């Protein structure tokens, strides 16, 4: 490694902090040109630290801290008693216990990285996870240093009438045109949970009475023009608080809970103790500006951040290698909550779709890592689908193996045992073991091993013995740094269907079964813990059709030789809703992959009639008043959506982007032409003029209607274009408006061109002052699959409303094009690759975290043909050669190359 290049940090090198901070007092004096932060720390030597580590106190900071003074117990230190370099303040020969006071000046208004204290519009706010606090003051900025915080915020009263921080408001006052508020958090917390907001804000207020009878004030703050969009977030918050008490027994612990909506924010939201800071996209909702999917995201993210109060705040991470301890567990909790609030099957389908598209690709790429990584250069690069979504699946597997009641016992013990502590994933698993008297030793492989396991399953029926045997073999592909893989312990949930499509009830059997689940047809959860295992089901009267991996009981790839007739049978009869959807996805994948092979061989591709017939059955169900109760409209809508090009690419050895797009488009066109009458009937039956509500019934109807509309817009049909225009102009909600606009923008029909341009202009002019709606306007255009989109995207970046420094806007244009526009991004001339590299290089100097996050599509070069591989690697090398490359970008590029 060249001198000066970023170096990796390793889990194996962890040491306890040499000093502890018992109390933290912050005085933050905000001015427009400079902010002065005076910090007083009550520091004690850690008795558990090794003696050689505790001679000097070394605090974390950054080059942006202009240090004014350093004092111990009131005495200002001389220059030979301490040393400052770009990122560390060293206090020489520190006493055993002392009070350290530092004064620094910072310029939040110049902080374009949005880490630490920065300015979003006219508001000052913070983002301290993972290591942003060190940009505010000198500190032991690591999650295992927990302290009690008292924070005084001072600012101009007219410009910043609202001053917020963690905990409870204990004092306030005025001094001329300036005012101050002091906040005190009685709970120990690490620096990453610190928050501060100063702005001209309005709020709505409500109250929640906890299960013990305590009254909690709830406030959601936003700028004045958004105050009419936070009611749904308040409803979601109260639902989450009630749910967490009922399901996990967790009660809120402060007198007040606050949320602040911020327009410039790198992440979705942040669970700072008592003062959550949210990206506006995750908290604002109003029918005419917000889609159904965005409403659901608000509900989910509000719950997720609230649930962190226990799974993340009261019990936090010892170090950042344990990030999935809080995130994986909390994602599982928000998934359970969303499932209980809506359709469990639809929620599961959505969760798995995200896992497969994002996390499976991650596991197959150069950044593959376990949910508990063993090394990193920049921790911001590990806020990944692996840590979050796969982490949730791993915790969910523990729940599946143990059962719901046993899992609750384990979580109760975990919270009780470790309240107020910074702990590890090992502590979590140990609590599950101790609460239930089980051994999860082999299960721990999931925490330390990367990659997506593959289950190769075969089935054999013995008519004379009346037995059905499942043979299960597991494997896992090699990943960077892990060539040889250990055997996993995982739950395989299965059912068996007879020839009539009924679940077969399992007789008493000699099997390694974790538990029996009789809630949705009869299922068994098999313990899979060996490289090869055999399960014999006895008393089976006729050859069954197995329903495997019900509910997606483990994050694996399943290889079973289902015939296309088997898959259509499961689509119609499986009592497990997820597996019904999965059978349809498998059928579509099989057909499209066959067509890709035909295209590559120079033959004319043809669509298997069984796939069209399966869609016919689903559409008929949608118009049938006496339909299968297992198929509600939301599920039918999901079953009508073909696998995405990104997922089809992932399933390919070497992906032929052009053939995949051609085959998938031909399937869509075939369905649209052959089933046009049914699609139109479905559309009209669900085109209802009613007042908007974000309830399950209406969301399902809109979803089904807009899926039908997207198919109807496939052929060059003037009448359907007019139908789409009518929806755009008359819709009373953003779900229908944006769906119609997306269909118009994506249409190559001659009849759609003039209406498309008018619709885009009308949409922008109407919503020019609504930032999140303008983000949709950008995203719809950037993801358009038609030729020439790259040139259009470049033009959009010169638009008056585009600002690369605003993360939401950057993601709407650059992120959407690179991640959601497979055909144009992967154009054979490499133009898409060069475009993305240009943006990464520019962002690297502005916001390194965002630069690293949009880089992912370039890292998956091994998936593509030799010509594209060369072009993608050339762009990665061009990024690497840039002077001043950030650790964030450096880590991803070097691992990719």
How long a stretch of residues is the chain? 897
How far apart, in whole angstroms, are the C-alpha atoms of residue 874 and residue 746?
Answer: 31
363: number of Cβ within 10 Å: 25
How far apart, in whole angstroms, are the C-alpha atoms of residue 146 and residue 833?
Answer: 44
Q: Ramachandran region of residue 74, left (φ > 0), alpha (ψ -120 to 50) or beta?
A: left
Residue pair 157/178 in contact by the 8 Å Cβ criterion: yes
Helices 734-745 & 696-712 angle (0-180, nearest 10): 20
- Alpha helix stretches (DSSP H) within 574-695: 577-600, 609-623, 633-639, 645-651, 657-674, 676-686
* Strands 116-120 and 123-127, bridge-based pairing: antiparallel
User: What are 631's two structure tokens?
Assistant: 């198929």
* Strands 490-497 and 523-528, bridge-based pairing: antiparallel
How far apart, in whole angstroms, are the C-alpha atoms of residue 317 and residue 150?
Answer: 22
Say how many Å lie between the first and final Cα of the chain, rounded.
14
User: What are 308's two structure tokens?
Assistant: 């962190």
Q: Which helix (H) or strand (E) holds 381?
A: none
DSSP letter (8 states) at residue 227 = G
The sign of the CA dihedral 849, 853, 855, 856 is: positive
Picking from 258, 263, 158, the residue whose alpha carbon sits closest to that of residue 218 is: 258
How far apart, in whole angstroms, are the C-alpha atoms of residue 561 and residue 578?
Answer: 19
Catalytic residue of the set 305, 327, 645, 891: 305
User: What are 5's two structure tokens?
Assistant: 């290049």
DSSP letter (8 states) at residue 321 = G
The CA-CA-CA angle for residues 413, 17, 395, to 5°, reads: 30
441: number of Cβ within 10 Å: 10
Place of tokens 């650059």: 814
Specify the 3-state DSSP secondary structure of 844. Answer: helix
Q: Ramachandran region of residue 818, left (φ > 0), alpha (ψ -120 to 50) or beta?
A: alpha
The sign of the CA dihedral 278, 281, 282, 288 is: positive
Place of tokens 């749904």: 232
CA atoms within 13 A on the CB side of 17: 24
Residue pair 163/94 in contact by the 8 Å Cβ criterion: no
The answer to whether residue 305 is catalytic is yes
Residue pair 277/126 in contact by the 8 Å Cβ criterion: yes
633: number of Cβ within 10 Å: 24
- Alpha helix stretches (DSSP H) within 439-553: 445-448
Specify the 3-state DSSP secondary structure of 172. Answer: strand
Residue pair 599/662 in contact by the 8 Å Cβ criterion: yes
DSSP 334-382: HHHHHHHHS-HHHHHHHHHHHIIIIIHHHHTSTT---SS-SEES-GGGG
Residue pair 394/334 in contact by the 8 Å Cβ criterion: no
* Strands 57-60 and 88-91, bridge-based pairing: antiparallel
How far apart, in whole angstroms, are the C-alpha atoms of residue 594 and residue 597?
Answer: 5
Contacts of 203 (CB under 8 A, 6+ apart): 162, 219, 220, 221, 222, 227
How far apart, in whole angstroms, are the C-alpha atoms of residue 526 and residue 504?
Answer: 16
Residue pair 204/666 in contact by the 8 Å Cβ criterion: no
How far apart, in whole angstroms, are the C-alpha atoms of residue 861 and residue 178?
Answer: 56
Active site residues: 305
């Amino acid at each position: 490694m060249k001198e000066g290049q970023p170096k990796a940090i390793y889990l194996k090198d962890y040491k306890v902090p040499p000093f502890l901070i018992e109390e933290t007092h912050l005085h933050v004096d905000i001015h427009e040109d400079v902010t002065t932060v005076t910090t007083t720390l009550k520091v004690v030597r850690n008795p558990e630290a090794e003696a050689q580590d505790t001679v000097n106190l070394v605090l974390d900071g950054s080059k942006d801290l202009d240090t004014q003074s350093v004092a111990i117990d009131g005495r200002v230190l001389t220059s030979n008693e301490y040393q400052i370099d770009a990122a560390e303040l060293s206090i020489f020969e520190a006493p055993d216990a002392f009070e350290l006071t530092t004064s620094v000046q910072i310029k939040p208004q110049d902080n374009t990285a949005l880490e630490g204290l920065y300015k979003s519009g006219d508001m000052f706010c913070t983002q301290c996870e993972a290591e942003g606090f060190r940009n505010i003051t000198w500190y032991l900025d690591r999650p295992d240093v927990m302290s009690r915080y008292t924070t005084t915020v001072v600012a101009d009263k007219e410009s910043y009438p609202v001053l917020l921080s963690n905990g409870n408001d204990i004092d306030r006052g005025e001094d001329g045109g300036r005012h101050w508020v002091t906040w005190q958090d009685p709970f120990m917390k690490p620096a990453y949970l610190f928050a501060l907001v100063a702005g001209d804000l309005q709020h709505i207020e409500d109250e929640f009475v906890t299960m013990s009878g305590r009254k909690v004030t709830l406030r959601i703050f936003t700028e004045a023009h958004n105050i009419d969009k936070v009611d749904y977030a308040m409803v979601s918050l109260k639902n989450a608080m009630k749910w967490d008490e009922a399901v996990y027994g967790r009660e809120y612990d402060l007198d007040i809970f606050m949320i602040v909506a911020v327009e410039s924010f790198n992440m979705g939201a942040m669970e700072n103790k008592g003062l959550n800071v949210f990206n506006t996209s995750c908290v604002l909702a109003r029918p005419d500006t917000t889609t159904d999917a965005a409403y659901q995201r608000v509900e989910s993210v509000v719950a997720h951040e609230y649930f962190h109060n226990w799974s993340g705040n009261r019990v936090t991470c010892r170090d950042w290698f344990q990030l999935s301890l809080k995130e994986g567990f909390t994602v599982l909790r928000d998934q359970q909550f969303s499932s209980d609030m809506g359709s469990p099957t639809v929620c599961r389908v959505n969760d798995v779709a995200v896992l497969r598209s994002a996390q499976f690709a991650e596991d197959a790429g150069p950044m593959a890592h376990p949910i508990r990584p063993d090394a990193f250069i920049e921790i911001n690069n590990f806020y990944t689908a692996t840590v979050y979504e796969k982490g949730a699946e791993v915790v969910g597997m523990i729940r599946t193996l143990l059962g719901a009641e046993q899992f609750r016992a384990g979580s109760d013990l975990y919270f009780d045992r470790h309240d107020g502590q910074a702990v590890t994933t090992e502590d979590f698993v140990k609590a599950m073991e101790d609460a239930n008297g089980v051994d999860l030793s082999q299960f721990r492989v999931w925490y330390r091993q990367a990659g997506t396991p593959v289950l190769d399953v075969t089935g054999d029926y013995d008519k004379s013995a009346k037995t059905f045997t499942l043979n299960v073999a597991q494997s896992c592909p090699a990943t960077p740094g892990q060539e040889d893989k250990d055997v996993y312990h995982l739950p395989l949930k299965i059912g068996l269907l007879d020839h009539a499509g009924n679940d077969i009830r399992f007789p008493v059997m000699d099997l390694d079964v974790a538990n029996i689940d009789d809630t949705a047809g009869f299922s068994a959860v098999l313990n899979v813990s060996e490289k090869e295992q055999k399960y014999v089901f006895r008393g089976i009267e006729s050859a069954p059709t197995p329903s495997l991996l019900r509910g997606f009981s483990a994050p694996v790839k399943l290889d079973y030789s289902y015939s296309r007739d088997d898959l259509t049978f499961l689509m119609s009869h499986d009592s497990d809703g997820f597996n019904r959807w999965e059978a349809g996805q498998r059928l579509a994948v099989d057909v499209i992959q066959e067509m890709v092979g035909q295209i590559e061989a120079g033959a004319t591709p043809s669509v298997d009639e069984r796939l069209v017939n399966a869609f016919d059955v689903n559409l008929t169900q949608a118009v049938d008043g006496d339909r299968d109760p297992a198929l509600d409209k939301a599920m039918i809508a999901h079953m009508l959506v073909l696998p995405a090009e990104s997922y089809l690419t992932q399933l390919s050895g070497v992906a032929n982007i052009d053939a995949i797009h051609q085959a998938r488009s031909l399937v869509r066109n075939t369905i649209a032409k052959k089933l046009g009458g049914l699609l139109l009937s479905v559309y009209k039956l669900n085109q209802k003029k009613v007042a908007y509500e974000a309830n399950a019934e209406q969301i399902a109807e809109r979803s089904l209607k807009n899926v039908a509309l997207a198919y109807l817009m496939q052929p060059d049909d003037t009448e359907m274009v007019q139908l789409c225009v009518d929806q755009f102009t008359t819709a009373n909600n953003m779900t229908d408006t944006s769906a119609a606009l997306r269909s118009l923008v994506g249409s190559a029909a001659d009849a759609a061109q003039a209406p498309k341009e008018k619709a885009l202009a009308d949409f922008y002019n109407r919503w020019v002052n609504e930032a999140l709606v303008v983000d949709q306007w950008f995203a719809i255009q950037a993801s358009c699959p038609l030729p020439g989109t790259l040139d259009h995207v470049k033009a959009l970046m010169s638009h008056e409303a585009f600002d690369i420094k605003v993360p939401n806007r950057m993601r709407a244009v650059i992120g959407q094009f690179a991640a959601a526009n497979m055909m144009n991004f992967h154009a054979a001339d490499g133009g898409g690759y060069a475009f993305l590299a240009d943006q990464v290089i520019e962002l690297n100097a502005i916001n390194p975290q965002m630069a690293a996050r949009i880089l992912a599509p370039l890292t998956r070069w091994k998936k593509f043909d030799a010509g594209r591989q060369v072009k993608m690697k050339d762009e990665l090398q061009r990024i690497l050669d840039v002077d001043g490359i950030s650790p964030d970008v450096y880590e991803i590029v070097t691992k990719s190359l």
